[in-house]
Amino acid sequence: MGCQYFAPNSDGADSFTVAMPRLTVGRGTLHELGERTAALGVSRIALFTDPHLLDGPLVAIAKDSLKKAGISYTIFSDIRVEPDDESVSRGATFLKQAPCDAIVSVGGGSVIDTAKASLILHNQGGQPIDYLAPPIGAGKAITAPLLPHIACPTTSGTGSECTSISVLRINELNTKFVIAHPSLLPTLAIVDPQVCDSLPSNAIASTGFDLCCHALECYTARAYTQHAKIASPTARQYIQGANPFSDIAAREAIQIVGRYLERGVNDASDTQARDQLMWGATLAGIAFGNSGTHLPHAMSYGITHLMKDITTVGYPVKDPFVPHGISVIVTAPAIFRYTADGAPTRHLDSARLLLADDKGATPDDAGEVLASRLIHLMKATQMPNGIGGIGFNKAHTKALARSSIRQGRAIANAPRDSNLVDLENLYSNALSYW
């Protein structure tokens, strides 16, 4: 089916699956939360948010809307940025003690992902690690339906409101892993771009590069027909490779980044640009929720595992912390130079959608043209200069590679194979760009 990129392969998948929640997108739609929740037949909810949003205007809008619709709520906000298994266990305990018919999450990816995983533990007990695929976890099946979940993102990057995955730090393993299951898909997503009006430019930049990489990784991922045929119709993983549906969302999201990222970061009053970035984040979430990301996300996990003594300026976090979008973009130019060999036309297309200067470029130049455009955008939005810009040096590259090689599924979704040595070389090539 579709273009040559999806040419049939005798051992490969011959179908793909599409999943997304019911979406409402538009300025002011957070005010509709109560009515939309009540329409689900729900009268009492658990409201998940984080400590920084708890007393702010967005949670106030959510509470007011719920009250007007006659819905009672109890609030859980003991969620850390970059949530871990302890956040999730606390969330599940809260759900047991505060009976509710549904869960509402108001926050960034950390809040939405904590809500998703808490729903699993609330239903089936255990710890998050039990639900990770072997050999990391026990691969415990998620069997019972979860409570309805209404996700209201407050940043323009995560896309978690549109995906059936939860990304969590597993403390025992000291790194992040993904729990994936179709039942994690939120029931409703309310995407209100107004929530980004007051975000500082560094948050728009880091979340914007998260959305940028979601879209680029989906569009350049291995074709679904190159992934193995599944044993049973219900065994398909969300990482199923690029497909005609994820292409549509990814291409549009890449174009939005090319047109609006610099504007949205550098001019807080440019609501047109910021609204577009919010829409782009949703599109990129729809894309990666149906195809999976690859090396930039896989290699970001090594970075967040091994970051030490780094506190990113402008973020209210005291522990070592690199915002997720920064941890992804710092390796992306080096990675796309490498992966272009596996899907040159798609890398060149991506560069063009990002409005790269591609005069005279051929598919042989695709990696360089795409990397150069990303580096331009990084400079224009005050991003760190590669992994050297967030405190790593050549001596760290082996350990970074050893950590990230555990992300086998995402690595296998890249259009070009890579082993431990390749990952180490990629980190070396990502030390600095200018």
Closest CB to Fe ion among 21 and 208? 208
CA distance 352 to 370: 8
**3-class state of residue 22 by DSSP:** strand
- Report how far apart, in Å, the C-alpha atoms of 191 and of each of 83, 115, 221, 428 are: 22, 17, 26, 38
Calpha distance 38→389 (Å, rounded): 48
Shortest Å distance, C-beta 409 to Fe ion: 15
φ/ψ of 329, rounded to 5, equals: -75, -25
The three-point CA angle 241-400-160 to 5° equals 40
Site string for Fe ion, 31-50 (x = CB under 5 A): --------------------
Residue 214 Cβ, how far from Fe ion at the closest point, in Å? 6
Site string for Fe ion, 69-98 (x = CB under 5 A): ------------------------------
Q: At closest approach, how far in Å is the CB of 109 from Fe ion?
A: 7
**The one segment of 6-14, 30-38, 202-210, 414-422 that binds Fe ion by CB under 5 A:** 202-210
Q: Which stretch binds Fe ion (CB under 5 A): 119-127, 208-216, 269-277, 332-340?
A: 208-216
CA-angle at 247, arms to 246 and 248, nearest 5°? 90
Q: Please, which residues bridge with residue 168 across strands?
A: 177
Minimum Å gap between C-beta 210 and Fe ion is 4
Other beta carbons within 10 angstroms of residue 251's beta carbon come to 19
Q: For residues 42 and 132, which CB has a smaller minimum distance to Fe ion in the complex?
A: 132
Contact 309, 189 (CB under 8 A): no
Task: Tell me the closest approach of the beta carbon of residue 378 to Fe ion, in angstroms.
Answer: 16
Does the CA dihedral 211-214-215-220 come out positive or negative? Answer: positive
Measured from the CB atom, the residue of 6 and 288 that comes closer to Fe ion is 288
**Interface with Fe ion by CB under 5 A: which range of 16-24, 147-155, 210-218, 412-420?**
210-218
Nearest to Fe ion of 65, 403 (CB atom):
403
Torsion angle, alpha carbons of 196, 199, 204, 206, to 10:
-130
Q: Which is nearer to Fe ion, 147 or 170 (CB)?
A: 170
Q: Give dist(CA 177, CA 369) in Å, integer.
A: 32
- Tell me whether residue 85 or residue 210 sits nearer to Fe ion (CB atom): 210
Task: Choose the binding region for Fe ion from 67-75, 115-123, 146-154, 205-213 (rule: CB under 5 A).
Answer: 205-213
Contact in structure between 163 and 237 (CB atoms under 8 Å): no
In this chain, which residue has its C-beta nearest to Fe ion?
210
Of the candidate spans 203-211, 378-386, 404-412, 418-426, the one that interacts with Fe ion by CB under 5 A turns out to be: 203-211
Is the CB of 91 or the CB of 296 nearer to Fe ion? 296
Among residues 210 and 358, whose Cβ is nearest to Fe ion?
A: 210
C-alpha to C-alpha distance for 413 and 239, rounded to whole angstroms: 7
Reduced to 3 states, what is the DSSP secondary structure of residue 198? coil
Q: How far is the CB of 46 from Fe ion (least distance, A)?
A: 25
From the list 86-94, 128-136, 206-214, 420-428, the region that binds Fe ion by CB under 5 A is: 206-214
- Which stretches does DSSP call E strand in 325-421? none
Segment holding 104, helix H or strand E: strand 102-107
Closer to Fe ion at the Cβ: 113 or 210?
210
CB of 297 to Fe ion, least distance (A): 6
Nearest distance, CB of residue 122 and Fe ion, angstroms:
25
Q: Which residues contact 183 (CB under 8 A, 6 or more apart)?
A: 142, 145, 146, 164
Binding mask 155-194 for Fe ion (x = CB under 5 A): ----------------------------------------
Exactly one of 84, 161, 192, 210 binds Fe ion (CB under 5 A); which one?
Answer: 210
Cβ at position 302, least distance to Fe ion in Å:
14
Binding range to Fe ion, per CB under 5 A, among 57-65, 77-85, 116-124, 204-212: 204-212
Which CB sits closer to Fe ion, 243 or 293?
A: 293
Question: Closest by alpha carbon to 194, among 278, 252, 264?
Answer: 278
Q: How far is the CB of 326 from Fe ion (least distance, A)?
A: 11
- State the minimum distance, in angstroms, from the CB of residue 64 to Fe ion: 31
Binding mask 224-243 for Fe ion (x = CB under 5 A): --------------------
Q: Which token pair is 234?
A: 């219900």
Pull the structure tokens for residue 178.
């993904």
Residue 44: its H or E element: strand 44-48
Q: What are phi and psi of 193, to 5 degrees?
A: -60, -20
Number of H-type helices and E-type strands within the chain: 15, 8
Please, which residues bridge with residue 190 across strands?
24
- Binding residues (CB under 5 A) for Fe ion: these are 210
